[in-house]
Structure 1
Amino acid sequence: MLNLLTSTQIRQADSHTISKDQISSIDLMETAAVAFTDIFTNQYPQKSTSISIYCGTGNNGGDGLAIARQLKQRGYSAISVKIARFTDKASPEFDANLKRLAEVDVAPVEIKNDNFEGENAVVVIDALLGTGLSRPVEGYYRALIEFLNKIPAKIVSVDIPSGFCCEDHIDPKAAVIHSDLTITFQLPKINFFFPESGAAINRFEIADIGLDEEFLAGQDSHFKLIRREDVQKILRPRKQFSHKGTFGHGLIVAGSDQTMGAALLCAEACMQTGAGLTTACIPPQGLAGLNARIPEIMAIIRERSFTFTDLEKYNAIAAGPGLGYSEETVKLIKDMVLKSQVPLVIDADALNMLSQRLEWLKKLPDYSILTPHMKEFDRLFGQHNTWWGRVETAKKKAAENQLIIVLKNRYTFIVMPDGKVCINPTGSPSMSTGGMGDVLTGMIVSFLAQGYEPKDAAILGTYIHGYCGENYPGYICPPSALVKNIPIKISEIMGENWL
C-alpha cells in the first residue's frame, strides 16, 4: 500500500532526494513544474486560454513562476503573473525563477496590499502558499484568497489549495482556496481524503516528481492508500478441483417484515462475491421473496428453527442489515456476540444495538469487523465535530477491542487494531443510495467465509465494492445493479490470474 506522509515527511523526502541524486533544489522544482504543466496542458489544451498565475514568495510561488515559464515556452499566449508581495522575505528558489521568467518576456505584476484588481482570466493557477503553512491564513493573504474564491474563473492549485491544512483537524472557518483541480506532487496529502476537504478540493491529480520511492515507503505512517496492485496480490485464483465446500459457508442474519430488501441485497452480495454456500437467517415473511429473487441462497427462519448450536457450521457471520429492534433480535445478537467462535461482521441495526450496550464490544470475537457510517459511529463512540476526530477515536477503539472498524464515506477508512488506517480510493457519488452498505457487508462476510484474513476481507470488500460502483455506466448505481456486477469486476481486477 502507498504510504501517505505528513507535510514534514514530504519535505524530508525532498531533501533526501536532492542529496541522493546530487541535484539542486531548483532542479527538483523544475521537475515539479514540468510534471504539473504536463497535467495542466492535458486538462486545458487550448493555447489561447487566458491564464493568471498568483504566486506567493515562498517555494510554492517559485513553482508558480516556473510553471508560468513552462506554459509560455509551450506556446500559451495569454499568460499573466501576479506576485503577492506581502513580505520582504522570499525563498532563493523563488528569486531564481523570477529571474528565469524574465527570459520569456513575462512581466509579473506585484500586489502589495488588498487593492486587488478585477480578474478576467478563464483559469487561475493558485501558487500562493504551500505545505509549509503552520497556522490559519490572515491579513492580506486571507483577503486575496477570499477575492479569488469569488471570481468565476476555474482555479487550479499547485500541490495544495492555498491555506489548506495537510493533516490534523480541518478548520471550516479557515481561509482556503476553493480549487476546481489540485495537481499535487508525488503523493496525495492525508487530508485530501477527509470529507471537510470538499470545499477546497473538487478533484485532484498526482504529478510524479521523482522523489525517492524507497525513502517514501520507509517512513513511519499510520495512513496507507489501497492500490489496485495491493488487491491483486490478495485475491486468490480458483484452483482446479475446487468445489462449494472450498469457498466456505456464510450466514447472513438480517431482514424484518418492512426491510427484507436489506437482507436480500446482503445475501446476494455474499453469494456473488464467491462464498460457496450462503444462508440467510430471516423472518418467515421474507422466505417467498428470498426464493423468488435468489434461489441459490438457503434460508433459516429465525422464529422457528435457529439455534446457536448451529453456529459451528458457518465460516463467517454477518448481522444487522434491516434486522429491526425486536426483543427477539436483541437476544439473537447478544447470543451471537457471546457464543460465536468466528469474527463477526456487524452492521446497521446490530451496530445500533451495540451502541446501547457498549459492554458487548469487549465480548466480540477478536478481529470482528464493524461497518458504521458517520451517524452509527457517533452513536457508538460519542458525538464528533470533525472526521479527523472520528478516525482518531476509531484507532483507539480498534486497538482497545481488537476490532477492525470500516468507517464508511466517499473515501472509506479501514482502521486496524494496530492503529493503521487503510484508505479506500474507489467509489463514486453515484453510489449514494440506500442499500449500498448492505451490499458491502455481504461482500466482506463472503471473503471471510472464503478463508481470507479479516483485514484482507475488509480491504477486498471495500475496494471491490467501490470499484463496481465507480465503473457503473449511469448517473445512479442502484445496489441491486452493483451486486450483479461483482463477479465480473473481480475477474477484471485479477486479469488473467482469475483462471
Structure 2
Amino acid sequence: MKIFSKEQIYEGDKLTAKKQNITSTELMERAGIQIFNWLHVRMQGAQVPVHVFCGIGNNGGDGLVVARHLITHGYNVKTYVVNCSDKRTKDFLINYDLIKQTTKKWPDMLGCEADFPEIHKDDIIIDAVFGIGLNRPVNDWVKSLFQHLKKSEAFTLAIDVPSGVYTDRAVDDENGVVWANYTLSFQSPKLIFFLPETSKFSVQWEVVDIGIDREFLIKTETESELIGKNEVLPIYKPRQKFAHKGDFGHALIIGGSYGKMGSVLLCSRAALSIGSGLVTAYVPKCGYQIMQTAFPEAMVITDENENLISDIKFDIDPTVIGLGIGMGTESDTVLALENFLKSNKVPLVIDADGLNILSKKKSLLKLLPEQSVLTPHPKELERLIGKWKDDFDKLKKAKAFTKKYKIVLVIKGANTMTVFNDKIYVNTTGNPGMATAGTGDVLTGVITGLISQGYEALSAAVFGIYLHGKAADLAIEDLGYQSLIASHIIEALGEAYVDLFKQPEQPQIEEAKTDDKK
C-alpha cells in the first residue's frame, strides 16, 4: 500500500473530481459518509453523547458532514465549530449551511476557554479540527481545548489525522495535538502513523476508501510504501521440482566471542530455516563444540584464536556473508574485520558489533560492497549517521547515508523501515514480544539466507523483515508477548511462509447505507 505525501493527496483529490465529474463538495460528502458508515455499523443507534469538533477548513467540513448524518439518523450529537481564524474554506461554508438547513441545529461556536463544553469519560469525541493542511502552530486557546479533550478520557476518533500533527515535520508542542484512540485515514495511511514520535497520537488507525481515482493510485510513485502480504507475495521465489541445495546458495555467518556464541547459533539457524542451501559458521575455537552440538546442520570453521575473531580466513566460496553478531570490538577483531573488508567482494549483511566497529572507524564504510545490508537498532543507527532532531530528520539522514555508501539500511523498531536511496519501506508485521534478546540476530540470519537463495539485497531486506515479524505474530498466538524468545521466531518461519498463501477470512459486517445519493 502506497503512503502518499500531502501534495500527492491534494493532487489526487483534484484529479478525482475532474475525472469523475464531481465537485470538491461532493467528494467531501463521500468522505464524510464513509466516516459515518464506520460509526453507524459500530454504534447501531446507541445514544451515547457524541461531540463533533470541527475546524473551519476542509477537515472541519468533513466533520460537519459526519455530524449531519449522525443527527439525521437519530444519534445524540453536539456539534462545535473551533473558530480559530477568519479564513473559512468554500466547502466548509457549504456544509455549515447544510447542517443548519437539514437538521435545524446550529453548531456552537468556540472561541475561548469559557466556551469549552463538559465532556464525560463515556462520551465520544470526533476530532475534525485540523487536517493535513496544517502548517503553523495552533493558538493557545486551541491547545487548551485539546488538553480539555484529553483530560476527559472520552474515546476520541480523529478524521484523517489527529489535529495538530503535521504530515511532513515534527510537532511543535505535544500540548497542541489531539491524542486520538482511533484515526480514520482517507484512502491511504500517513507516514506519521509509523514514526515513534508521532504514532503515539493515534493508538490505532484504519484506511477508508473514498473513491480516489484508481489510475492515480496505481501509477503515482511514492517515497514511502507500507509492506504487507500483498506487497511481498510478488517477491517470493517458488522452488522447482528438481532443485537441490546448491541452487540456494551458501551462507557464511561470521561472529561470536567467548560467552556470546548464542548469537551466531541463532543467526545460523535462521539462515538455514529461511531456505539457504548451506550454512557455515565462522567462530572462535571456543564455539566449535557449541555449534557442532547445538546445530548439526551447519558446518563450522574456527578462527585460530580461542576466544575471539582475530583473522578472518576461509577456503570456501560463500554466496553471502552475515557478520558482526556477538563479535565484540576488541582491537584484534577490529583489525581482522578491516583486513577482511579490504579484500572481500561477497555481498554482506552487517549487524551488532560489525556496525559498532564501522561506527568507530567510518573509513571502513567505503570498503563495503554495493547494496550491503546494515541492520541497526536506534542507538546503532545514531552512531552510524549521527544524532537527529526528530524522526523526519532521521529519515533524511538515513536516505543520505544509503546514497553515499550505496547500501540498504534497515532501521529496526515497532515498524521496521528499510531505506534505500529516496525510498522507504514500512513493515506491518511484528509485535512487542520481539523486544527480547536475539531477535535481531535472527533477522540478520533471515536476510542473509534470502540473499543466499538469489534474492536481491533490497528485496531480501523487505521480504525478510516481513517474514521475521509474521513468524513472531504467529508464535505469540500460543505463547503471548512475555514468553516469546528468539528461537520461537525461527521455529515459526515455516508457518510464516505457509501463511503467504492463505486466503483471508471475509468479514461478515454489513455496512449501513444512507439515503444521500451524492
Is TM (by shorter chain) over 0.5? yes
Greater Cα shift, 183-192 or 293-302: 293-302
> Quick one: distance in 1 between partners of 2:187 and 2:315?
48
Instruction: Pick from 84, 95, 98 the counterpart of residue 96 of structure 2.
Output: 98
> Quick one: distance in 2 between partners of 1:44 and 1:414?
39
Cα distance, 1:108 vs. partner?
2.5
Query: Partner of 1:280: helix, strand, or coil?
Result: strand
Report whether the alignment pairs 1:58 with 2:57. yes
Instruction: Pick from 401, 406, 431 the counterpart of residue 402 of structure 1.
Output: 406
Q: CA RMSD in A?
A: 2.1
> Quick one: distance in 2 between partners of 1:276 and 1:204?
40
Partner of 2:465: 462
Query: Partner of 2:113: helix, strand, or coil?
Result: coil
Cα distance, 1:394 vs. partner?
1.2
Q: Taking every aligned residue pair, what percent have the same amino acid on both sides?
A: 34
Q: Which runs of 5+ in 1 are unaligned?
A: none
Cα distance, 1:59 vs. partner?
1.2
Greater Cα shift, 20-29 or 42-51: 42-51
Partner of 1:87: 85
Tell me: CA distance 1:248–1:42, structure 2 relative to 1, closer, same or farther (3 Å): farther
Query: Partner of 2:197: helix, strand, or coil?
Result: helix
Partner of 1:339: 343
Instruction: Pick from 372, 377, 380 the counterpart of residue 376 of structure 1.
Output: 380
> Quick one: distance in 2 between partners of 1:155 and 1:271?
47
What aligned pairs does 1:384-395 form with structure 2 within 5 A after superposition?
Answer: 384-395=388-399
Partner of 1:186: 187
Partner of 1:490: 497
Report whether the alignment pairs 1:145 with 2:152. no
Tell me: CA distance 1:470–1:50, structure 2 relative to 1, closer, same or farther (3 Å): farther
Given that 1:49 and 1:78 are in contact with CA atoms closer than 8 Å, whether structure 2 keeps it comes out as yes
Query: Partner of 2:497: helix, strand, or coil?
Result: helix
Given that 2:52 and 2:128 are in contact with CA atoms closer than 8 Å, whether structure 1 keeps it comes out as yes
Tell me: CA distance 1:312–1:387, structure 2 relative to 1, closer, same or farther (3 Å): farther
Tell me: CA distance 1:494–1:336, structure 2 relative to 1, closer, same or farther (3 Å): farther
Query: Partner of 2:109: helix, strand, or coil?
Result: strand
> Quick one: distance in 1 between partners of 2:14 and 2:428?
28
Cα distance, 1:464 vs. partner?
1.2
Give the TM-score normalised by structure 2: 0.90
Cα distance, 1:44 vs. partner?
4.5
Structure 1 letter corresponding to 2:29: E
1:53-111 per-position Cα deviation (integer Å, ceiling 9, x unaligned): 11112111111111122223444x32221221233432222222233324245442222
Give the TM-score normalised by structure 1: 0.93
Partner of 1:439: 442
Partner of 2:364: 360
Given that 1:54 and 1:126 are in contact with CA atoms closer than 8 Å, whether structure 2 keeps it comes out as yes
Given that 2:146 and 2:175 are in contact with CA atoms closer than 8 Å, whether structure 1 keeps it comes out as no
Given that 2:409 and 2:419 are in contact with CA atoms closer than 8 Å, whether structure 1 keeps it comes out as yes
> Quick one: distance in 2 between partners of 1:444 and 1:390?
23
Tell me: CA distance 1:170–1:273, structure 2 relative to 1, closer, same or farther (3 Å): farther
Number of positions where the alignment pairs a residue of Structure 1 with one of Structure 2: 493
Given that 1:62 and 1:98 are in contact with CA atoms closer than 8 Å, whether structure 2 keeps it comes out as yes
Given that 2:281 and 2:299 are in contact with CA atoms closer than 8 Å, whether structure 1 keeps it comes out as yes
Given that 1:311 and 1:340 are in contact with CA atoms closer than 8 Å, whether structure 2 keeps it comes out as no
Given that 1:136 and 1:174 are in contact with CA atoms closer than 8 Å, whether structure 2 keeps it comes out as no
What aligned pairs does 1:315-326 form with structure 2 within 5 A after superposition?
Answer: 315-326=319-330
Cα distance, 1:4 vs. partner?
2.0
Report whether the alignment pairs 1:117 with 2:120. no
Tell me: CA distance 1:271–1:145, structure 2 relative to 1, closer, same or farther (3 Å): same
Given that 1:265 and 1:439 are in contact with CA atoms closer than 8 Å, whether structure 2 keeps it comes out as yes
The ranges of structure 1 where at least 4 consecutive aligned residues each deviate by more than 4 angstroms after the TM superposition are 42-46, 304-309
Structure 2 letter corresponding to 1:433: T
Partner of 1:294: 295
Given that 1:156 and 1:181 are in contact with CA atoms closer than 8 Å, whether structure 2 keeps it comes out as yes
